[in-house]
Amino acid sequence: MNSKHKYIIEDPDSGFTFVDDKMQREKTEKTIQIMNKNSNLGYDLLCPYENEIIKKIEKESKEYISNYMSNDYYNDGIKWNFSGYPHDEANYFLTEINFSSDKYNVFGIKPGDVISNSVKTLKAQGFEKSKNCPLEWVNNAYEKDNLYIYLITQHDYDEENGDKEKIIKIIIEVETLYLGNRIY
């Protein structure tokens, strides 16, 4: 391990050790910047949870839930989740976006699209099928540099075109190192 690019947080009470790899985070954040520029998600992934954003998102949201380790905002067909990044003891950033409205898109992919075309788009952006998908029930999980995009689908039968698998929801999240197993 190259300690020049990593720092360690240790909790002597629980014995938990968190290793933050700065080089990996830089790659992740670069990938997220590219995604943000090529998407319409209402807010940029990893935007900071600051007063200006809080005021704006509270006006736009129809529902707000303050969880133990996150703040979730809901609007028409979209949820924005702010939590600690890169771990839950750090400042809050937008770490997950979950949407079912076709008003929003990631790399041009939106709910209602045919899955086969969407997969081609993600692969062209350098995403690969996830081997370690944290959401076991998702068959169409793609990742690149600790950024995950989950395409939730259902079959749509059309007499003219037959059975087509279409996207009904998209979940985008950045990997965070959740320390919730610790005793506070």
**50-60 confidence digits (pLDDT tens):** 999 999 999 99
In three-state secondary structure terms, 15 is coil
Query: Does residue 44 belong to any structural domain of this protein?
Result: yes
Assigned token pair, 57 = 């998102």
When divided into structural domains, the chain yields a total of 1
Query: Does residue 68 belong to any structural domain of this protein?
Result: yes
Contacts of 61 (CB under 8 A, 6+ apart): 73, 74, 75
**CA pair distance 36, 50, nearest whole angstrom:** 18
Assigned token pair, 78 = 């979209």
Assigned token pair, 66 = 């303050």
Q: Looking at residue 183, what is its pLDDT?
A: 41
Average pLDDT over residues 86-105: 92
pLDDT digits 0-9 by tens, 17-31: 666 678 888 999 999
**CA pair distance 22, 149, nearest whole angstrom:** 22
Mean pLDDT of the chain: 85
Query: Does residue 181 belong to any structural domain of this protein?
Result: no
Contacts of 102 (CB under 8 A, 6+ apart): 110, 111, 112
Q: Which residue has the higher pLDDT, 182 or 34?
A: 34
Our CA angle for 136, 139, 144, nearest 5°, is 85
Query: Does residue 182 belong to any structural domain of this protein?
Result: no
Query: Does residue 180 belong to any structural domain of this protein?
Result: no
Domain that holds residue 90: 5-9+15-174
Query: Does residue 179 belong to any structural domain of this protein?
Result: no
Please say if the pLDDT value at position 105 is more than 90. yes
**CA pair distance 90, 117, nearest whole angstrom:** 37
Q: Looking at residue 136, what is its pLDDT?
A: 67
Assigned token pair, 147 = 């950024």
Q: Is the pTM of this model over 0.75?
A: yes
% the chain with pLDDT above 70? 79
Query: Does residue 25 belong to any structural domain of this protein?
Result: yes
Please say if the pLDDT value at position 138 is more than 50. yes
